[in-house]
Each structure stands twice: as structure tokens, then as C-alpha cells.
Structure 1
Amino acid sequence: MSTLKGELARVGIEGDVSGRAKHIYSIWRKMQRKDISFSKIYDIRAVRVLVPTVADCYTLLGIVHSMWRNIPDEFDDYIAVPKENGYRSLHTAVIGPRNRIVEIQIRTYDMHEEAEFGICAHWQYKGSDSTAANQSYESKIAWLRQVLEWHDEIGSEDVKDLFKHEGSPDRIYVFTPEGHVVDLPPNSTPLDFAYRIHTQVGHRCRGCKINGRIAPLTSILHTADQVEVITGRHESPSRDWLSASSGYLHTPRARAKVQQWFKKQDQDKNIAAGKSMLDRDFRQLGVKNINLDTLAEKFNKKGTAGLYAAVGAGDIQVEQVLRAARGQLARAADPVSLITRRPHAARYGTSRFYIYGVGDLLTRIARCCNPVPGDEISGFVTSGRGVTIHRDDCGSLLRLKTQHPERVLQASWGGEPTDVCFVPIRVRAYDRSGLLRDVTSTIDRLELSISSINSGQNRHGKVDIVVGVEVRGIEDLRMLITRLRNIPNVIDVERIFEDARA
């Protein structure tokens, strides 16, 4: 410890160094959990170092590894890849003074406070003092302990209600079918939940039920949901899970587990899969004449095959390839007719705010309620004076709604209009009830506008839906195509051109 303190002073880092010996019971429990011998327990002696910044963490790590030989496979970077419960720190084991093995934990003061007193804690780390905890963290611990104590007394349903109304905003709490509570980051999906339960459960995941009903794997989980994972016999993750635009995975740890699985696959399989993924996305986006050898150089890969292998293994995402190909995409898009337009909006006085939903009609602010940006608003079409903008709770508007409901327009505030591109897309699917609704709902959730839509059935019960969508760029277009592709019964989604419309 004195050596570390001296090194901190030498490099000008203000830090705290403390140590602890692992309890005998903790040693036994770790040996049982990991099925290892006593000689494989490397954190019997541990030193914790707290420093001000993340950069200081890695600086000190380099110093430690230069002073003492580190033990292979005993280094964990939980800063770059935090644990599922949010825990962040650097862990390394070294052969220290007098040839004794010592575990060294390095983290910032903020990380330490969260690890000690947040819900992600080892429940206030072994032997530590909790007097420094701030009030919010202490209240979280007290609240969660109370929930655990009440679980057997008040029943699972009442516990769900408690979670739903009083849950922590920085975590969500969902239930397994057996009633166990699993905590996850906000915006987690059932697939994140599956990998949180066990890596093999994630690899074998085929579907899920949320609150007893079949749901997509891209569904966003909420506190008090009950999640059941439907698994198959064999491990077969999908490479689509790694795509950020697909919405399958939210947590970095689950994504890392999928990437690790594909890295173990045969090189030829990764090349074939990467080629299939890029070909599919380029075709659906209408992108042609891309020089993949040039792109491979940007990612330090050997030729097109090296790029394919990296994409297939999950080391490089299709989105990254598209971003790297911006210059080539501009040239390749020459034959594509992009119709750009600026959405109609009325400016609010001389401010930077605009009113949407009233088209090109003249607008004026109602004097009866004087709405300002941030208020919920509606417009009323007057006779010869354009549209009058009212607050939604304005008494005059409520009266006009009952007398002339057809003249009331839904309006909203926004920033200055920006150019958008009109892109026609064809969705080919097996016809079913609710298909058109699912297509339009998906577009709406991405906050994109529909300019036109046409649907027609062809042979063998298949239907073609041609929808004109306004997008802001190639990223919007790829996100939309990916989400449409995930709709049940959809066979294919692709961008079409004027001469290709059917």
C-alpha cells in the first residue's frame, strides 16, 4: 500500500489506498460457486485505490502492471464493459511484494460511491462503513430491503404494485415466472433479460412472453413485467441481434456475449454471413457500386474477405460500414431520384419556435389564453383569418370543439424545419389481419411522416405495401427498413425507384 501511495504522489494523482482481507466464508462461497481450489482464489488480499478520473484509473493500471507481473486471465475492465447491475471498476491480480498474490481494484470516487451505496452494491461492501452514503442511495437500499422483507407477507401481486409505483428510475425490476426479481437498465429488452439470467439462456432464446402474452424480442421492458424466455435445444444467436438499429439488445454486456459467440465460429462461416448481411442491406437501401476493398482498408482489414469476416463475427457493424462509405454512397446514389422538401410550419413571432400541423395557413395566437412554447396546443380554422392557436385547456377552444369539431387541428411546437427526402419503400409480406396497422405504427414510432401508401394483394396470399416515407438521411432509412423487417409475416423490405414500381 505504501508503494502505491508513493507512485500516486510521484505522478501527481490524489488518491486513497485501502486494503482488506477476504472473509473465510466468502472464500469458501467463491470456491463452491466457481468450483475451484483454494490456490485459484486470487483476491484473498485486496487493495482498493480511488482516484479522481477515469483517465487516472488507466494511468494507475499501467503503473501497477509495470511494477508487478499480472496473472493472465485475471484482469477485468468493468469500466469499458460494466456489469449488468451497473458496477464499474478495474480489477487485476498481480504477484506483489514477497511473491504474494494481491488483487488490486481501481475506480473513481463516483464509481466507488455507487458500488458501495447504490442498488448495484455488494450490499455495502464487506467490512466498509456506510456513514458517507448520500441520502438518495441510502433510501434506495432501505426501500429495496423493505420490499424483500414484505415479499412473503403481502404476496407477489402487491410487490409488483410497489415496484410499479415506487421503483428506482435508473433501474427496472422485472419478474421471472417463479417470482424472482431481476434488475436491468432502462430500455432493456427480453433478450437482455435472457442474457442476464444466463449466457446459454440468451444463446438459445427463440421468443418470449411478457405478462403471459407472446411478445417480440425487441419489446421494451418496464418495471413489474413478468418475463418468460422461450428457448430452443441448440445455441443459435442471430447476427441481427448485434445491429443497433434492430433494437434487440440494449446492454453492452449482452452484446459482448453475442459477439464472443460469433468470434468462436468458423472463419468461412463468418465470411459467408458477413457477405450476406452487407449484400442484403445494400440491396434494400438501393446502394450500388461500393468499393469494398477501399472500405476494408479503413477498418484495417485484408481485402473484401477480411471485411466480410469482421462483419460476420460482429466486430464491425453494418452501420459502421455505411458511415465509412458516405463518400461512395453519394456517388452511388446518382441514379436515385431523391425528392426533397421542407415541412410546412408557421413561425412563432420572431422566436426560434415553429408551429406544426397547420400547413401553409396564416396563424395567430389566441388572446384568450396566449399559449407559449411548451404548452399543449390546438388550432381552430377561422373564416377568412387563418388558424387561431389555443392552449388545449382553453375554455374558448373547448367550446369551439363542441360546436365545430371538424375545424379543430392538432398542432405542436418544434424547431426550424429541415429538409427531408421522400423515399418509396416496398414491404412484401404474407397477408394477415393488422399487417397494415403494424407497418404504419412502426413508421410512427420512428417519428417519420408518411406521404403516400398503397396496398395490393398478389398471388399466393402475399401482399405488397408501397409506402412513401420522409426520412432525414440514410441512417433513418436503414433504421426503418430494419424495424419493418422485424414485423411478423414480412418477407422482404426494399427501397424502390420510380421505374421499379409495380
Structure 2
Amino acid sequence: MKSDLQKMLDSITLYNPHANLELIEKAYKKCKKWHGLQKRKSGEPYYTHPKEIIKMQLDDSTIITALLHDIIEDTNVTFKKIEKNFSTEIAELVEGVTKLDKINFQLEQIKQAENFRKLFLALAKDIRVLVVKLCDRLHNMRTIGHKNGSSIKRIAVETLEIYAPLAERIGMHDIAGELQDLSFGAINSRARNSVIKRLEQIKSKTEDGQIVSNIITELSDLLTNENIESVVKGREKSPYSIWKKLIRKGTTFDKLIDVVGFRIITDNQKDCYTVLGIIHSKYKAIPDTFADYISLPKSNGYKSIHTVVMGPFLQRIEIQIRTKEMDIEAEYGLAAHWSYKQSINKLDEIKKGMEIWITTMLDILKSANNAEEFLETTKLEMYTEQIFAFTPEGDIIDLPQGATIIDFAFAISNDVGNLCDGAKVNNFNVGNNYKIKNGDQIKINTSKAVWPSIDWMQIATTGRAKHAIKKATYIEQNLLIKAKGMEILSRLFARYNHKINDKVITELLNYTKIKSVDDLYINIASNAIDITTVIKEIYPDILYVSNAFLNISSFDGIGQHRATEKINSAMEKPWLKNYHIDGLPECFLHKLSYCCKPNIGDSVIGISIPNDGIFIHKKNCTNLAHFYLENYLTIDHLRIGS
């Protein structure tokens, strides 16, 4: 009887006669030696893991990594020892998987964001570490019953929310589906069992209860009669995918009848379209269910034709039509392209696409303001279903369902997105909030008079667009946050019938140990400090005046409100018409102050008045004395230009 080692080597030889079996055997034996008597909680030895890797027909280095991936974490063997025994490439892959193993995704957003950061940094070096990790996670989920009760749910949630979407993102659809269903069973076994019970009821609708095999037979006979060489596969959709569809559609199981899926595997792409014609000629197609991912592949490389028909036995069935190569890629995704049989050019093309995605994630990571923002944009990039639209030149842009013109514009480039002023869709003019449909041809209108505003965040749906808008509107957002902090502080002091002046601001800064006035306002606006408590600590004798009401004149008693009225009336006949203010974004609404009448070449300062906007004064304007520090904007190095 053959040993486990010999079985593994034979399996590898079947798909790669040129594999370095000597090195793989060495890794197997080193794995047994270094792990010693260690076993997994399932009772299995550590060297049983690479079965999924071998099924994918991957390269030698990835197989060896799968054998050794627990060595650094669970033994005293070091990176240098692996490097000495094998190679730098293998040592780095093992180290990369080890880093992923140490990531423990928590529900707390800050911890989760930090772990996403570690994840993408590891993937940036070599995406193969994710392939090994996903196979490792799949094995762990298959044996999750050996874990203790408290960790089962945590691991299942982590798998469902993190690893299954990542598997989907790199095209490993079958592994993603199994990870989802195993997680579903661990998290909500009662719901899963309910779905399985209903599936059994559907099976009983045919006389022998073999609805899947009966449909396979009918489809196979149909194609054989048309002289089409093909293989028909069929299976029930997973309980998780059915449950998710029930939730998404808000329907009952009785109304959800497309619960069986079939694949027709052909010899070539031409036959895929021939099969489609045969199927649609024989069975009635269900409207709005057709998708051609062969002519428009998904961003992860997935190719297939999808259609839903009222098929044999009056069953509504989904049919996927693809070639043998497409079927392998649908199962193993990116990993399929590391097979020794794949051309270097094709692998480089796939890797380049993944590198762009990972680089986008890392760029978001570097400039995200907080954990919540990073998680939001990261998950948007990971979890979404896709639609396809075309540029006027015929280039394909893939976007999530529900994407808008703004998303399309930023998908082209940030320069186009920042100047987006609506678009022409299929020769009709539309606004930025138009929701794109599959197959739309879109020409973005741009204008130099346009710049992103915070309102665009309500229109954008992609992580990339939201991230770019946040960067473009950083100054505006910062000013609005500071203005909010100013107003909160001013209203609070008004209720205490207390004036804000430089001394008060200094005392607040000293007490809170905040370095700048701007940061003080930002902390107040974001509730990072309890300003009410701070005020009472600094001024223990301060009295609360319940009927105090703050209006713009309560900052000081020297006619600020009257000055604002004069400014507003003067705007009907401004003394400057064609000018710009260096340092102040064009998207900011502002007014030139009537009191000092700033002119071309003047150095000016912006004053924020709550509820009235930004007023531009000369730096030497005597009325500046009537404003306190909380009104000053940080953009105080402005100059009026022609």
C-alpha cells in the first residue's frame, strides 16, 4: 500500500512531470521532523494540508509552503533555517502565511482596521500567501467541530466576513462558496437545516426524487442530439446562497424556485454560444437573467455565460456555460494561473490586475482618517457584485451594482472624477447621480468650474470614489468640522453667559493638553473630549443660564451682526468681479467684507461666521479686533489675485 507521501508525489507528477519531487519530499520529511508529535485539534498531523493546493496543480514553491506554513508559528524553526534548507522565496512565503495566521480579526473597528492593514501588506509581497491561507482556512472550517464552543462562532464570522470575500475577489468561487456555507452552518445551524429541509421537499417533486440527475440527463441528451461535445454538471445551490437570496429579495422559499444550478462544459468558446442558442430554443428564458461574462469577464478573471430558463419538469434552473479552461479558472481563480502549464504572460497579466487592487487598498490605508473610514472603503472594494459599462472608446469599466456616474468617472482617473459634471449615457444627458446599467456607454462631461463637494459622498458607492472625494474635499471637511466645534463651544459659553476670548482659549488648550486651536475645535466636534466637563473643571463657579440664546452678535457687543447686514446688502454691487483667492478652494462660498474692501494684491484672512459663511478681510482690517480666535480659519495666508 502506498504511503501518504508517495500518493502526494504521484498526484503532483500527473499534472507536472517536471516537478522537483526531491525538494517536495524533503519539505514533507522536514515538516514531520520539525512538528514532531504535534497534531491538529482534529487529531490529524500537520503535513496533511496541501491536498487543495495539489488539486489546483500549483507550482513547487506553493506546495512546499503549504507543507511548512505552520512551522515558524508552532515550532522553534526560524526564517533563516527555512531559507537555508530551501530558498529565500519559500522562506518569505512561509513567513507571509505566518503573518496572516497571527491576524485575529475582532469586531472592534480599530483592531479590525489594523488587521486589514497587516493583511494587505502581506498580500502586497506575494498573493500566493493568500492562496495557501485560504486552503488552510477551508481545512480548518471542515474540521471546526473540534474547536471549543466560544471560538467556533468567532472563526466562522471571521471566515464569512473576511476570507470568503477575499476568495471571491481572487476568483476562487468554489472555495468561497464552501467557506460561506460552512460558516453559515456554524453561525446559524437552525436556519441552514431549515433550508436543507425545503430542498428535500423540492427533490420529491419528481417521481424518483432525483430531480438533479433527471435534468442532467435531459440536457445531455438534448446537446448530444445536436452533435455538441459537452459535459453537464448539476447541483443544488448551497444553503447559504439560497438563504442570502431569500434575505436579499425579502421573499419566501415558496417563491424562490431557482435553487438548482447546472454547468455545461464545452470544448471551445464557439460551442458555448451554440449551446446557449440550443437552450434558449428549447426552453423559455426568464427575462433579465442573462449575463455574458465571456465577452465581459469579471475583474477577477471569471468567464462564463449565465442564463435562467424554465427547464425540464417546469423547474426554473440557472445554467452556466463555459469551456474546460474557464471551469478550472472559476474553481481556482487566480491560483489556476500558477499552474506550471500556464504561460508566463498570462500569469503576469493576472498578477498585474491583483497588484493594482492591492495597491489601491494600501493607498486607502495610508490616507484614511480613521479605522471606520478604512473599513468602509476596504469592504466596498471586497464585497460587491459587478456590472459593466463602456467608455466611448469601447474600454470596459467594471463597477458594483448601484454605481453612479461619479463612480465611473473616478474609475477612469481621479483627474476625470474631480472635474465630473454629469455625462452622456447612450447619447442622453444625465446627472452625476444616474445609476449605471449593464452595457451603458458613457462619456463623462468635465468642467474646470467643478470640484468635488462633500455632497458627492452621498452619490458615490465605490471605495475608490469615496476615498478620492475625501482627499479632494479634505480642506472643506476640515473647515466644516472646525466650524462645528466653534459653534458648539460658542453656544455652550453663551448658556453660561460667559464670553470667549484669547485667555479662555489658552486655558482650554492648557487643560486639555491639545496643541492648537484647530485641533481643539476638531476634538470638540468629534466628541473626543467632554467639553462641558472641561469647562466646569476650569471654571467651577460658572453659572448655567438656561434661557441664554446665542446669535451672531453674542460673540462681542461691537456691531458684528450689523456689519454682516451691511456686507450682505453691499454684495448687490461688488467692487471686484473677476478675481480669485489664492489658498481658498473655489468650492467655498465666501463674501468680500464691506468694511475694508479687499482688493487685488491684498493679503487677506478668512473669518468663519456660524450660519453666515466665510468673510474675507484685509489682514490689517480694524474690525478683526471684534472677532475672537474661534472665528479665524487656518487659511490665513491668502492673497487676492486677478
TM-score by length of 1: 0.32
Whose radius of gyration is greater, 1 or 2?
2
TM-score by length of 2: 0.26
